[in-house]
Structure 1
Amino acid sequence: MLQVEQIDYIRLEANQKGCTYSGVASRMNLDPRTVKKYADQEKFEQRGKVVRPSPIMDPVKPIVDKWIKEDLKKKKKNHRTAKRMYQQLVKNHSFKGSARTVRDYVSKRKRELKEYIEESSLPLDSTPGTAQVDFGTAPFEYNNVVIDLPYLVMSFPFSNCFYFQVFPSENTECLLEGLQRMFHYMGGVPRTIRFDNLSPAVKKIGAKGERELTETFERFVLHYGFQYEFCNPGKGNEKGHVEAMVKYVRNNFLLPECFITDLDHFNEAQWQLAEEDRDRLHYDKNVLQSVLFSEDEEEWLILPEKKFECARREEVTADKTGMVTVDKKLYSTSPRFAKEKVRVQISYNEIMILNDHNEIIVKHSRLYGAKRKSMVWQPYLHLLSRRPRAIKYTNLYEQFPPIWTDYLMNCTEEEQKEALRLLGTLLKNNDFSLLNKALKQASSHGHPSSDHIKHCFYTLRKDNRLYQEVEPKVKVPPVPEATRGLSHYDAFFKQEVTT
């Protein structure tokens, strides 16, 4: 087909200047009949693409399309090559075409499917396999006190389904822990996830909308391979589905205040509640939401082999008492690290202090709320044993079981030194259970020494070992009953009575 410029030239020369068809054809190196055709043409309709039937490829195109869609959910290194697809078609589907035919079709079809996925991610509210994420807050009753806690919601606009988990904060570690829990419970990763400009994910928004992401969030995205989208600042309506679902979850599952004793146990129960909610018709499509959710599942990416470590590491300097500051909270290390740098691994629920070899020095539960200091005294006990008078200036007694508090208060200074050295040696992971039993047993005859407590401790630990009674394979004959004295020897000295 001629270019638009060529057709314009033909119509100008032939129709307006009166040149002959053959003269124009000669100058343009065309057939005169072609010149006449375009000079006389009345309509210039857009010609549709002619699709020629392919008797060889048409029967196997659905199979190849299915393979390509499956591969697009995996890492590139795990994609089947066109050559491998050709071999499978020949072996399993009696394909008679050439490898080149398959290669050309696979190349073209991959381009089309990738373009479709990229374009379809724009109308997020109606595309299977996509999700929206946001935090909400709700009141909870904890230790007889009502507190507000955040909960993370992942909604699926296509099926109108959701998952949610409750956390102690809206920090980066809680966000990533929640997303990872959902991915692994679902068994897949949404292709595209839309977020608000959450501070756990977005560090800074540039003048032209560019976003500087937090380093941990960037690594998380790379690990799971999903595409992320962020709403424009002040445009929360761009994730309207999850905002509506946040309200729906609060009204239907979290009000009135839920009573929480263990947050992890509470969250485990929420998976089933979210799944039971799918057994209703979609508000617009008149189809069960559980059926639509299965279409979401078909479009998810495959999970990576390993989980992501939802934690960040920092290097901080301890003060002269060995305390470090993490997110404006104080955590103890050990006296030997006073004024030295230590590594801190921060997850949503733990703070681990590490040495240069990444070995754990001490482990803390992460602090939230009003409490500002976490003290694990075990690493400090040997230091205190050299200065027992300093105990009264610490909160050591508050952290000890009452039985040990009473014992130490009734000790002399020298006895306190020995007792603290003993605790520094025997106490592991702040577990006083066996030490409490040892002290109670040792105290049964009065005020015990450290050596007496130590002896009871090791005796109890030995007695706590479990032994299995083994049935003997050989039958042992019964042992005759023992008798006291020497009367059984009289049998050797009895005289025979003769008649």
Structure 2
Amino acid sequence: MLAMPEVNHIKKMRNEKSLSINEISRRTGFSWETVKKYADEDQLPSENFSKKGGMMYEGKWGEIVSDWLLEDHALKKKLRRNNKIIYQQLKKLHFPGSYRTVCNYIAEWREKRMEDGETIKEEFDRLTHPPAEAQIDFGTTEVIQDGKAKDIHCLIMSLPYSNGGYTVPLPGENQQCFLVGLKALFTQFGRVPRKLRIDNLAAAVVRARGKHGDTIFTESFLKFASHYGFEPQACNARKGNEKGHVENKVGYVRYNFFTPSPVIRDLDHLQEMLTQKSREDHKRKHYKKGEPIQDLIKEEKKYCLALPENDYPVFKKETVSANKYGEVLIDGTAIHIPTSYHYSQVYLITYWDSYKVVSPNGEVLGEGPRPYMNKSRELPWLFVLGMWRRKPRSVSHSRYFPYLPGRIANYLSIESQAIQKDRIEWLMSQIVTYSMNEINELFYELLPSKDNSTLESDPHPYEVNWNIYDSLRPTNPVAEGAVTIHE
């Protein structure tokens, strides 16, 4: 290829001086074909691309090797196949090429990827949202369990690349809950993200990034990250926008999965509900890419790390002292531990949901659920009943109606608004003394006599025959005028 000054010189002799191709070739010393090309033909830019050839690019062999390398990239270095093993496995598939051909292809594949674990993808929606990067945050929501409201701390992991999300319900935000929640999220996802961006959570961060230097993570969190292989990334202080995707996901989960507050049996039941809701949510299309989120998640998994073979135990062990009453302080609550005062110090081992107190000799002195596991609050039934008394027609459609215990829900399910209003007023008189669950348990003892003739004929909204259950109760004297249950 000639330089532009030479090309322009040839064109000038041809067009302005009207010299022949032979004369220009004689004067410039270039061949006749070269002079003819630049003198009379237009040199227009083209979008031609050189396409690589050979069996690794034109056949199936390159795709096979790429798939193997991508699979191995999710594993630890010691578990990955080297070039020789890959070549041997290709030969078993009747690969016709040489070992050098395979090595050259692998070297080129690795040049497109960073050796520090980051995977470069040709096309991203945004440069700030590559695959295999996740964001983590807590969000507090409300559920109803045993007729009472409980605050649940949901740990949510969002995947900005695919817009996928996973949720784990937990009773608190301490380090044990945080690490157990991460384990559960990774299990749901089936992979481990390469980078994990978190807020400055006390469970993971000792000191946030600022004028004093970089973020300092807790020793336990760093050990956990090392075991799973991800790189933790903390936001700058008061910079919540740096994890804006998970912030939006927390709100999305709260308004779509917890409104109204669901009725649950326990945390396992809630986890089943959230897992099912997440699966359904992943069927919708990405807001910008137009593909189903579940398909993008499947693609994103190729760039993530595999789950480790060994489980990571999560607990906290510390030495504590019992007071003279034999009480040990656990989560700010004094809990009586028999014979603990016999020792100057004992070991307190806390898990995310339970505790264990152990003597210096290894004897378990006491164990049980952590105090916050049973923490709940009564629903504002007096206020709710006041609203129902003013508008009896709204009872069956109220968001609080599903939270009523079975007998009371049956008691209020009646078409006559006048009778319904009287029953609401009776409940209001009882709720001052008893909780709603206590009224349900003492229902027949507290029941006013005027309801005897209508109670059994009232339909139950869930078609539950409470007489069957009550027939199993031990025979006890009932209050005068109460309904008698016959077997």
Superposition deviation, residue 86 in structure 1: 1.8
Aligned match of 2:130 in 115, 127, 130?
Answer: 127
Counterparts in 2 of 1:285 and 1:317: CA distance versus 1, 3 Å: same
Q: Contact (CA 8 Å) 1:124, 1:157: kept in 2 or not?
A: no
Kindly provide the amino acid, as one letter, of the partner of residue 273 in structure 1: K
Aligned match of 1:280 in 268, 278, 284?
Answer: 284
Counterparts in 2 of 1:317 and 1:336: CA distance versus 1, 3 Å: closer
Kindly provide the amino acid, as one letter, of the partner of residue 310 in structure 2: K
1:260-279 to 2 correspondences below 5 Å: 260-279=264-283
CA distance in 2, matches of 1:114, 1:308: 28
Kindly provide the amino acid, as one letter, of the partner of residue 181 in structure 2: G
Residue 344 of structure 1 aligns to a residue whose secondary structure is strand
Superposition deviation, residue 341 in structure 1: 2.2
CA distance in 1, matches of 2:86, 2:285: 40
Q: Contact (CA 8 Å) 1:133, 1:195: kept in 2 or not?
A: yes
Structure 1 runs (4+) deviating above 6 angstroms are none
Counterparts in 2 of 1:53 and 1:294: CA distance versus 1, 3 Å: closer
Superposition deviation, residue 274 in structure 1: 0.8
Superposition deviation, residue 56 in structure 1: 5.8
Aligned match of 2:262 in 253, 258, 264?
Answer: 258
1:259-408 to 2 correspondences below 5 Å: 259-335=263-339, 338-356=342-360, 358=362, 360-368=364-372
**What residue is the counterpart of 2:74 in the other structure?**
73
Q: Contact (CA 8 Å) 1:344, 1:354: kept in 2 or not?
A: yes
Residue 89 of structure 2 aligns to a residue whose secondary structure is helix
1:163 paired with 2:166, answer yes
Q: Number of paired residues?
A: 322
Q: Contact (CA 8 Å) 1:130, 1:296: kept in 2 or not?
A: no
Residue 114 of structure 1 aligns to a residue whose secondary structure is coil
Kindly provide the amino acid, as one letter, of the partner of residue 106 in structure 2: V
CA distance in 1, matches of 2:361, 2:255: 49
Aligned match of 1:213 in 203, 210, 217?
Answer: 217
Counterparts in 2 of 1:209 and 1:271: CA distance versus 1, 3 Å: farther
Residue 308 of structure 2 aligns to a residue whose secondary structure is coil
CA distance in 2, matches of 1:102, 1:358: 58
Q: Contact (CA 8 Å) 1:57, 1:97: kept in 2 or not?
A: no
Q: Contact (CA 8 Å) 2:151, 2:171: kept in 1 or not?
A: no
Does 193-202 or 287-296 show the bigger shift? 287-296
**What residue is the counterpart of 1:482 in the other structure?**
none
TM-score of the two chains, using structure 1 as the length reference: 0.58
Q: Identify the structure with bigger relative contact order (alpha carbons < 8 Å, sequence gap 6+).
A: 2
**What residue is the counterpart of 1:230 in the other structure?**
234
Counterparts in 2 of 1:370 and 1:184: CA distance versus 1, 3 Å: closer
CA distance in 2, matches of 1:130, 1:220: 17
Kindly provide the amino acid, as one letter, of the partner of residue 137 in structure 1: T
Counterparts in 2 of 1:358 and 1:267: CA distance versus 1, 3 Å: farther
Residue 141 of structure 1 aligns to a residue whose secondary structure is strand
Q: 1:358-406 CA deviation, whole Å, 9 max, x = no partner? A: 55332121012897xxxxxxxxxxxxxxxxxxxxxxxxxxxxxxxxxxx
When the two chains are superposed, the root-mean-square deviation of aligned CA atoms in Å is 3.0
Gaps of at least 5 residues in structure 2 are 1-48, 376-487
CA distance in 2, matches of 1:144, 1:62: 57
Gaps of at least 5 residues in structure 1 are 1-49, 372-499
Superposition deviation, residue 283 in structure 1: 1.2
Kindly provide the amino acid, as one letter, of the partner of residue 157 in structure 1: P
Q: Contact (CA 8 Å) 1:166, 1:267: kept in 2 or not?
A: yes
Q: 1:137-180 CA deviation, whole Å, 9 max, x = no partner? A: 12333444434332111112122221112222111111111111
Counterparts in 2 of 1:331 and 1:111: CA distance versus 1, 3 Å: farther
**What residue is the counterpart of 2:244 in the other structure?**
240
Look at both structures and tell me which one has the larger radius of gyration over its CA atoms.
1
Kindly provide the amino acid, as one letter, of the partner of residue 55 in structure 1: G
Residue 90 of structure 1 aligns to a residue whose secondary structure is helix
CA distance in 2, matches of 1:110, 1:362: 55
Residue 246 of structure 2 aligns to a residue whose secondary structure is helix
Counterparts in 2 of 1:330 and 1:65: CA distance versus 1, 3 Å: same
Q: Contact (CA 8 Å) 2:166, 2:188: kept in 1 or not?
A: no
CA distance in 1, matches of 2:127, 2:364: 44
Aligned match of 2:153 in 142, 150, 162?
Answer: 150
1:28-67 to 2 correspondences below 5 Å: 55=54, 57-58=56-57, 59=59, 60-67=61-68
Q: 1:268-314 CA deviation, whole Å, 9 max, x = no partner? A: 22101111112222211122222222212222311111221121211
Q: Contact (CA 8 Å) 1:320, 1:338: kept in 2 or not?
A: no
Residue identity over aligned pairs, in percent, reads 36
Kindly provide the amino acid, as one letter, of the partner of residue 96 in structure 2: F
CA distance in 1, matches of 2:164, 2:190: 15
CA distance in 1, matches of 2:184, 2:308: 13
Q: Contact (CA 8 Å) 1:331, 1:364: kept in 2 or not?
A: no
CA distance in 2, matches of 1:369, 1:360: 21
Counterparts in 2 of 1:62 and 1:254: CA distance versus 1, 3 Å: same
Q: Contact (CA 8 Å) 1:231, 1:239: kept in 2 or not?
A: yes
Residue 87 of structure 1 aligns to a residue whose secondary structure is helix
Superposition deviation, residue 191 in structure 1: 2.1
1:390-429 to 2 correspondences below 5 Å: none
Counterparts in 2 of 1:91 and 1:258: CA distance versus 1, 3 Å: closer
Aligned match of 2:180 in 169, 177, 196?
Answer: 177
Q: Contact (CA 8 Å) 1:154, 1:164: kept in 2 or not?
A: yes
Residue 356 of structure 2 aligns to a residue whose secondary structure is strand
Q: 1:193-228 CA deviation, whole Å, 9 max, x = no partner? A: 211111111111253541221222112111211122
Q: Contact (CA 8 Å) 2:355, 2:367: kept in 1 or not?
A: yes
CA distance in 2, matches of 1:370, 1:52: 66
CA distance in 2, matches of 1:269, 1:125: 32
Counterparts in 2 of 1:295 and 1:201: CA distance versus 1, 3 Å: same
Residue 365 of structure 2 aligns to a residue whose secondary structure is strand
CA distance in 1, matches of 2:104, 2:347: 54
CA distance in 2, matches of 1:330, 1:262: 25
Q: 1:35-58 CA deviation, whole Å, 9 max, x = no partner? A: xxxxxxxxxxxxxxx989563654
Counterparts in 2 of 1:294 and 1:53: CA distance versus 1, 3 Å: closer
CA distance in 1, matches of 2:65, 2:320: 55
Q: Contact (CA 8 Å) 2:285, 2:291: kept in 1 or not?
A: yes
Q: 1:475-499 CA deviation, whole Å, 9 max, x = no partner? A: xxxxxxxxxxxxxxxxxxxxxxxxx
Counterparts in 2 of 1:323 and 1:283: CA distance versus 1, 3 Å: same
Residue 118 of structure 2 aligns to a residue whose secondary structure is helix
CA distance in 2, matches of 1:154, 1:300: 14
Q: 1:337-372 CA deviation, whole Å, 9 max, x = no partner? A: 53422222211100012344655332121012897x
CA distance in 2, matches of 1:292, 1:119: 16
Kindly provide the amino acid, as one letter, of the partner of residue 313 in structure 1: K
Kindly provide the amino acid, as one letter, of the partner of residue 282 in structure 1: H
